[in-house]
Amino acid sequence: MDRGPSDEIGGSYRLQDCVHESGAVLVEVGTTNKTHLSDYATALSENTGAILRVNPSNYRIVGFVEAVPVAELVKLKQRRPVLVIDDLGCGALIDLERFGLPHEPTVPESVAAGADVVCFSGDKLIGGPQAGIIVGKKDLIEKIRKHPLTRMLRVCKLTEAALQATLRLFLHPGSLLDANPTLRMAAVPLRDLKRKATTMKRRIEEGPGCLEVRVVKAESAMGGGSMPAVALESVALAVRSGTVPPDRLLALLRRNTPPIIARIKEGDVVLDVRTLLCGEERSVIEALRRIHGSGPARPEE
């Protein structure tokens, strides 16, 4: 295992601890910032059962950095019959560069490179329910399926149904953005966000009240465990009340039906417009007007 990705993610989870619990002996290769193919080759022995590559999904090492692609690791199988396991973490199924985002290793790329087993998340970049997915060579998947721990750790049928429905969306690339909220939010052009924010600002301020609303620049994050150090340029509404303190306004929005989740920055209650699905603007406008007794919002034009 490359020494660089020996990290800790949410819930104090450490992959290296899981490896130790399995009874396997983990041998780290390379250094924190640079690992070469020769490091893996030197570490191979008659006791080596698998080569584990872990994608740094929730952090980045920048600067003087080098890592070994999966395709290069697969070449080591010619020296010794070992498995190549690729843990992709956030689990991109498609190339995110089409949305103007940095490239993230995809599951199809790993499979095509010859990895024997590929592990990734069902939520994060896929946008499905929280789950872990394993794909790979048929015989290896069958061994995993028959292992006693599989029955103990398997997800419920509701998770399976939600995951299946989400994965089916990727079979139709032409309609993927319309059907997948996670990718649709990431792909919204900045000009559309500005137009939406400006319209919301005008409608919030139409009725009497003590609300000051500004359209401001913002940055959206793809998620805590995916695309680290990548910020999406976005647009937000900065709301300030002359009668309701920001913490009180934030609490009232969260208690709204449906709840509206915002944050406080420099005395403003900030709502990132990128996170609103189509039609949810109305709920925000109505909630803010109701808090200040300004009456219901008009239907969207």
**Average pLDDT value for residue range 90-110:** 87
Enter the DSSP assignment of 10. G
Closest CA to 112 of 139, 86, 133, 91: 86
Please, which residues have CB within 8 angstroms of residue 13's CB and are 6 or more apart in sequence? none
Range 188-291 classified under CATH 3.40.50.720: no
Asked if 227 and 90 count as a contact pair (C-beta separation under 8 A), the reply is yes
At residue 299 the predicted structure's pLDDT band, cuts being 50, 70 and 90, is: very low
**18-68 pLDDT, tens per residue?**
888 888 999 999 988 899 999 999 999 999 999 999 888 777 778 888 989
Kindly tell me if the per-residue pLDDT of 217 is higher than 90.
yes
Question: What's the CATH number for 8-175?
Answer: 3.40.640.10
Q: Where in the chain is the domain with CATH 3.90.1150.180?
A: 188-291
Higher pLDDT, 14 or 145: 145
Please tell me the pTM assigned to this model: 0.83
Q: Where in the chain is the domain with CATH 3.40.640.10?
A: 8-175
Kindly tell me if the per-residue pLDDT of 9 is higher than 80.
no
**Average pLDDT value for residue range 66-76:** 94
CA count, 13 A, side-chain hemisphere, 251: 5
pLDDT at residue 295, as a whole number: 43
Higher pLDDT, 59 or 127: 127
Closest CA to 297 of 167, 206, 172: 206
Kindly tell me if the per-residue pLDDT of 166 is higher than 70.
yes
Token pair of 52 as six digits? 């584990």
Q: Report the SS3 class of residue 188.
A: coil
Angle at 300 between CA 239 and CA 256, to 5 degrees: 45
Distance CA 95, CA 228 (A): 16
Kindly tell me if the per-residue pLDDT of 287 is higher than 50.
yes
**178-210 pLDDT, tens per residue?**
899 988 898 899 999 999 999 999 999 886 667
